[in-house]
Structure 1
């Protein structure tokens, strides 16, 4: 027994300024000392100023699973046909989608670069604070944070509302005498969001498995419905050609009172809303292993595969649809279900719609997960009233359960817009599109302007293409900001029923957030803040702490990004 060495505890020392990260702790000669071995993921999050509180049980695939579920191509395309088909006809499904994807892909690529440099749950607002001029950093990060929160908080309600509408449309399709009331729509949507919230409150490993299942279902159902549209097409029995000719499938049918070019730009709302979920890996970065590589890869993979698969699927719709005008103006109120009924037998319509509803449910749950992580991250920095409650991690599930249910409650309040009419509740779709890309591109704008020469890229970066991608991304969003607020009709025809309520639903809360900052928050909000507490010591204190630990027989490891770990005993 005399040859057995005593077991010694290990402490790890992280020198923040030795890490190639821009952090709330940078340039303050700070060191972090923790009482255990630290892997590279934990070292980076510590260097960024936060404790590792989640289990890193997401991989590249499961992270992609969540983001692809949030994308929810099948239910997203079905829910947004009001904007693609309803503004520009088949052109909104085909070549307009391709043009919009150029700008969207550039936004995704540039965001991926930021996620590698700042792999935190509140990455968009954190990166804004690090890239902005110090005097303006708190205000800019506050605005980006609230813009992104509006996206997250409207995501699940809008998706579940779309799912509820499809369920009720299927009932109406089967029983033409049935007309759903606003109350029925509200209660059904509430039921869907409640089940989503229960699943989102589970442990990380369970959530990862559910979202992998949801992503698989989404892809599989999308493929099945695609095959149904092509193989089950009954247009020939109606005396029509098997498919539309190219001029019909790619042609513009302008349903707005604006010129054709404006109608095409307005139809971008559909693809922007559909593709707004690829930021989810950014918000899951603290639960992902090898986050600085896996997170940006998941973002790019989601945007690329989603854009290509979505385009091919919509091609099938454009070539199979019988009557565009009838699909948009049918009393059923769901263009996708009406489209299916135009070219498929009744049983296939039921099957395809049912698959879309299941995919919508999985999408809503993924939106709840992403939203809860954003709420947790912002509450950790004190951005919300009663933040200390929403920033708690449940001791059993190791997930932000309080944040999930806080978001659920706010979502139910938003869903009261159902009682204000179709145009009012449809505004939450526009908010999801506008708020998302405003928050996505503001840190990108800072990266290519003020921080052009000071930005420290992570291991995944765009290299010399960074400025090009960022410029295209920002130009695209600047163009789309006013377009997303345009109403379909103008002049006397633009009645309250047909008004685009995005201006009120998005800019109203943003104005309140800015006023809150001007009146009160500027006095106490300084941007992201560390929660490391006693783990953080000044450089001068560090040597005394290290020497004290060595004298007790502890093994000391130094973790830096410049050299391998060096052990000092």
Structure 2
């Protein structure tokens, strides 16, 4: 699609198309243009140019989109849920250095994703980008693998968050009554109850979903700031803080691997915590000024989240006194154990309560983002019974069926709670590995196969895009095997200590790959265009496109002709 202003020449019986929009990279064939019989605003022109009808109300702004993604990030509850992977693998040095190193490369991935989002602001997100950017013969397969990996990561997010939330609630009950020891069944039933509430809220209209997530994200940020200030101010330890030499230089390696590998293993917590910044991509069809606001929300989420998350790491690293006691407490929740170790009882309970409320908001954001991904893939018939999951509720104008599907699947996945901590813990690693593999495929294609032929949107990285993307892809390739490592080896490795990520994520991916080879390659062709466009016969269509606008946007004009007539069957 060329960018520029459209000019209409009155012709009797004509159907006119206004495609004046910022550049997009579309699934539509070269020279093909969509058409419609009504005037379109800038956002609708962009989504139509990508081959889709405008089906949602655009009631998300930059701020509310950021609020959803920041809620999905949920720094405080995410850190509370993954302390075992940071402090528990390499101690305080692993926490502070691991976060810094990982965040540099995660920022590379986030910025490259934002560049793709600006060029292709659609709910399909990375799946759509993989299909468009891959070589023609491999586009459908790239979309298939990207889509399934991303979907697996998305649908495990809310269950893992809600499981952690239930564990924190019951840990608070144990703090009140030391004789109470939660059972796995109680954790499962509470998790299910929370999942049902999140499903109900996510079925509401876009305006109310945006409002609920705005409130939750605001509370999330306030709770995080309060916690970062309250811990160093209220710690009851003597001495109050550990020395910088101990914090930055002492690696408490609690794994069977060398120190360097142990630090790499701490990245699991960082990756899982920071895997929610793709949410603006999936909400872009509900966001106004999407090809600018959505990529900005991605970068804002990763940048603000990375900085504030590191501050939280520092606060905990400087105040913790006994790492083994935190990891092995009878409470069964390291964050609650840590708070009791460094704070007076009432203050610890108050901060745990803030974390619980923030966790509820985080789970809600995860449910919303996952439902949009399910809808987008069902729209392209990726799933069995897709015709039901891609339906948009006429009253709420949201994908209610997709929300309910994700809620039911999340409740079923939480049955892993009954198999023990290691089994349910696999959901955390799955979320990290599945999401980052999906992030890396379209970025790698853009860097190594498309290169400078990639058509940038209004938000882009300029000449640095391929280099930044390359660093992000290299990081993902390094981390995929690391995310599958157990913390112990040899005779210490037992089934209950095994890292089951390779099986729980790898098995479904092997199955969908076999499905592709056996059957899906016959009918799955990638994103399905659902808007009328030029390859369909029309009465008369005149489209006069300004080539100069392409030059102004820094793009090479695709056609010397200033008048493009659509082809007909």
Is 2:171 the counterpart of 1:169? yes
Aligned to 1:545: 540
Residues 563, 101 of structure 1: alpha-carbon distance in 2 compared, 3 angstrom cutoff: closer
Is 2:395 the counterpart of 1:402? no
Aligned to 1:472: 471
Listed one character per residue, the Cα deviations across residues 189-246 of structure 1 (whole Å, up to 9, x for unaligned) are 01111111111111101111111111100000111112220111111xxxx2121111
Is 2:239 the counterpart of 1:244? no
Structure 2 residue matching 1:278: 3-state secondary structure: coil
Verify the 8 A CA contact 2:283 2:372 in the aligned structure 1. yes
Verify the 8 A CA contact 1:19 1:561 in the aligned structure 2. no
* Distance in 2 (alpha carbons) for counterparts of 1:563 and 1:474: 33
Q: How does 1:185-200 map to 2 (within 5 A)?
A: 185-200=187-202
Q: Once the 2 structures are TM-superposed, how far is the Cα of residue 22 of structure 1 from its aligned partner?
A: 2.4
Aligned to 2:557: none
Aligned to 2:27: 24
Aligned to 2:533: 536
Is 2:271 the counterpart of 1:272? yes
Unaligned runs of 5+ in 2: 1-11, 551-562, 564-569
1:13 aligns with one of 13, 17, 20? 17
* Distance in 2 (alpha carbons) for counterparts of 1:9 and 1:83: 66
Q: Once the 2 structures are TM-superposed, how far is the Cα of residue 483 of structure 1 from its aligned partner?
A: 0.3
Structure 2 residue matching 1:528: 3-state secondary structure: coil
Q: Once the 2 structures are TM-superposed, how far is the Cα of residue 345 of structure 1 from its aligned partner?
A: 0.8
* Distance in 2 (alpha carbons) for counterparts of 1:135 and 1:26: 14
Aligned to 2:161: 159
* Distance in 1 (alpha carbons) for counterparts of 2:136 and 2:18: 25
Aligned to 2:4: none
Aligned to 1:125: 127
Residues 496, 164 of structure 1: alpha-carbon distance in 2 compared, 3 angstrom cutoff: same
Listed one character per residue, the Cα deviations across residues 160-194 of structure 1 (whole Å, up to 9, x for unaligned) are 00000000111112212111111111110011111
Verify the 8 A CA contact 1:31 1:536 in the aligned structure 2. yes
Verify the 8 A CA contact 2:118 2:292 in the aligned structure 1. yes
Aligned to 2:505: 506
* Distance in 1 (alpha carbons) for counterparts of 2:460 and 2:469: 12
TM-score, L = length of structure 2: 0.92
Q: Once the 2 structures are TM-superposed, how far is the Cα of residue 388 of structure 1 from its aligned partner?
A: 0.6
Listed one character per residue, the Cα deviations across residues 533-568 of structure 1 (whole Å, up to 9, x for unaligned) are xx32338x45x3348xxxxxxxxx97879659x9xx
Verify the 8 A CA contact 2:23 2:458 in the aligned structure 1. no
Structure 2 residue matching 1:13: 3-state secondary structure: coil
Q: Once the 2 structures are TM-superposed, how far is the Cα of residue 31 of structure 1 from its aligned partner?
A: 3.5
* Distance in 2 (alpha carbons) for counterparts of 1:294 and 1:137: 27
* Distance in 2 (alpha carbons) for counterparts of 1:148 and 1:59: 24
Structure 1 residue matching 2:449: 3-state secondary structure: coil
Q: Once the 2 structures are TM-superposed, how far is the Cα of residue 409 of structure 1 from its aligned partner?
A: 0.9
Structure 2 residue matching 1:54: 3-state secondary structure: coil
Q: Once the 2 structures are TM-superposed, how far is the Cα of residue 417 of structure 1 from its aligned partner?
A: 0.6
Aligned to 2:413: 414
Verify the 8 A CA contact 1:69 1:366 in the aligned structure 2. yes
Verify the 8 A CA contact 2:16 2:541 in the aligned structure 1. no
Is 2:50 the counterpart of 1:51? no
Unaligned runs of 5+ in 1: 1-7, 548-556
Aligned to 1:516: 515
Q: Once the 2 structures are TM-superposed, how far is the Cα of residue 471 of structure 1 from its aligned partner?
A: 1.1
Verify the 8 A CA contact 1:14 1:32 in the aligned structure 2. no
TM-score, L = length of structure 1: 0.92
Residues 97, 10 of structure 1: alpha-carbon distance in 2 compared, 3 angstrom cutoff: farther
Aligned to 2:253: 254
Count of aligned residue pairs for this structure pair:
540
* Distance in 2 (alpha carbons) for counterparts of 1:160 and 1:561: 52
Verify the 8 A CA contact 1:84 1:93 in the aligned structure 2. yes
Q: How does 1:418-497 map to 2 (within 5 A)?
A: 418-497=417-496
* Distance in 2 (alpha carbons) for counterparts of 1:275 and 1:42: 30
Verify the 8 A CA contact 1:234 1:343 in the aligned structure 2. yes
* Distance in 2 (alpha carbons) for counterparts of 1:514 and 1:411: 23
Verify the 8 A CA contact 1:11 1:37 in the aligned structure 2. no
Verify the 8 A CA contact 2:126 2:442 in the aligned structure 1. yes
